[in-house]
Structure 1
Amino acid sequence: MGFIDCLPARRQEALGQLVADQNWAGAPAILVLPIDQYQVFQVERPEGVEDSELADALKWKLKDFLDFSPSDAVSDVFMFPKDASRGRGPLVNVVAARKSLVQELIDLVSASGLELKKIDIAELALRNLAARLDTVNRGVALVHLRDRYGQMVICQGGTLYLSRRLELSYDDLGDASNQENAVQSLALEIQRSMDYFESQLGQVPPSTIRLVARDSVLPLNSMLSSYMAAGLDVPDWTEFGLNADLDSRCLPAWSAALTQESLA
């Protein structure tokens, strides 16, 4: 397991070489869309629409929110927790992405020799890991930090309740002149998400936040903890059979392989 850093123009070559080197031709693959290539909306579930027809029916409700035509979108749905709807009636999460972008990624996987089995999104992939960490079914908050952004999910068992994109810059976190403001800003975003989970969704927030960050000398746990009501820790990767810390850049792809079937 590892991460190959390359320019977008070189990714076909890099993936094809990796498949050849590892003898992975024909191996099943899960494609995880990055969070900047799709949008998720919460909408009321219409009455009388079958589950199989929900995605196509609901994407047209998004025409005022998308910057492209719904006819150019590929969509899917996943359920919003009933106990978090706060009397608003049944809600569903609608995922929408440009067909052309999704097709480009599908072609990338196909041309490499892998066999595409599933297309996932980042928060549902991270949900798989959160579910594994939620050993007492009291909810887990998981924060994944990349170089230029982060993502936070809060789950109970295998159910995703909340997903938020977090704005950050590792350059600022590592710059002594900007570090304090950057840490405070990140902590505020995380705390606001926890507060929303409690006040707007009516749920008891987890007492601990699991943090997965880019390999760094920055002691982010201690830097953030002074501004947070919840405690912070990192997952114990040995519990997942890993001999070393997981490269955080691989987290969505690795988590996607923790399928719901394997959580049973």
Structure 2
Amino acid sequence: MAATRGGDGTAVGYLACTPAKRLEALTQLVSEQGWQGAKTTLVLPLDQYSVFQLERPEELAESELADALRWKLKDLLEYSPSEAVCDVFPFPGDAARGRGELVNVVAARKTLAADLVSLVNQSGLVLDRIDIAELALRNFAAQLDPRNQGVALVHLRDRYGQMVICKGPTLYLSRRLDVTSDDLRDAGRQENAVQSLALEMQRSLDYFESQLGQVPPRAIHLVARDAMLPLSSMLSSYMAPDLETVNWKDHGLSEALDSRCLTAWSAARSIPGGASA
């Protein structure tokens, strides 16, 4: 579990525990930190929900969209739409490329969402909102792109990575990157893993340009847990864009952020100029 206190992103930390011990660990953390009753944002990790682009029905109010589009997911979900909780967020109009007005539809299992909400409430926190990983990362990406020229952010976790491409506060693309930290560290598998990662990143940039009609960003910002591994230089030999690591001091931190906390920390960041979900 990752936690951050305050909108400025201070007091960031990661607490490792098994799923069975989450409530006990979180309750103890809330007690130790004096967080009882604190408003809380719950960020769903990438592997616990799905996002689909669907055509927006005409003459429907925003409040009706999620429920109306839920049943259009019946052939896309591995479970019944009746078992899903859904929400929507905008799809950029200049990326639709003649497909009509689109919206992003988020779907997660009701039982999973209910379990996580219960975890927050039972620990003594007060749930304020539920976010998803790419929209949390969007908050940070927007701060890396104050001129709205476009920015790519890659977050590498232990079992997979995630790449988001944004223009200012607008999310254009999110992709899961199938790479593990073990593959990147293992001498025998490292070269293939780096090549595969670079290929997935480049394909995302190509899709952003060819299918969404956008100019690719000139640089990719990379956040990885293993700071000792020179990933930027390793990837640079396979990719045209510059690979940049984040200077955390520019974002109010005295030392490098533990990358496992990135989505929680990013969810607490303010978006320059404000933005809708």
Task: For 1:48-87, list aligned pairs within 5 A.
Answer: 48-87=59-98
Aligned pair in 2 of structure 1 residues 261, 72: CA closer, same or farther (>3 Å)? farther
Task: For 1:73-222, list aligned pairs within 5 A.
Answer: 73-222=84-233
What residue is the counterpart of 1:37 in the other structure?
48
CA contact (8 A) 2:117 2:127 kept: yes
Post-superposition Cα deviations, 1:28-65, rounded to whole Å, max 9, x if no partner, equal: 11000011110000000011111110000001000011
Q: Does 1:25 align with 2:26?
A: no
Q: Does 1:242 align with 2:253?
A: yes
Cα distance between partner residues in 2 of 1:262 and 1:96: 28
TM (norm. structure 1) is 0.98
TM (norm. structure 2) is 0.93
CA contact (8 A) 1:206 1:230 kept: yes
SS at structure 2 position matched to 1:65: coil
Q: Does 1:14 align with 2:25?
A: yes
* Structure 1 residue 262, shift from structure 2 partner: 7.5
Post-superposition Cα deviations, 1:94-147, rounded to whole Å, max 9, x if no partner, equal: 000000000000000001111110100000000000001102210110000001
Task: State the one-letter code of the partner of 2:121.
Answer: S
Cα distance between partner residues in 2 of 1:69 and 1:174: 40
Post-superposition Cα deviations, 1:184-203, rounded to whole Å, max 9, x if no partner, equal: 00000000000000000000
Cα distance between partner residues in 2 of 1:138 and 1:68: 39
Aligned-residue CA RMSD (Å): 1.2
* Structure 1 residue 248, shift from structure 2 partner: 0.3
Aligned pair in 2 of structure 1 residues 263, 245: CA closer, same or farther (>3 Å)? farther
Cα distance between partner residues in 2 of 1:99 and 1:239: 39
* Structure 1 residue 263, shift from structure 2 partner: 5.0
Post-superposition Cα deviations, 1:140-180, rounded to whole Å, max 9, x if no partner, equal: 10000001100000000100000000000111111111110
SS at structure 2 position matched to 1:57: helix
Q: Does 1:232 align with 2:243?
A: yes
* Structure 1 residue 67, shift from structure 2 partner: 1.0
For this pair of structures, how many residues does the alignment match? 264
CA contact (8 A) 2:143 2:271 kept: no
CA contact (8 A) 1:12 1:108 kept: yes
Any stretches of 5+ residues in structure 2 without a counterpart? 1-11
SS at structure 1 position matched to 2:184: helix
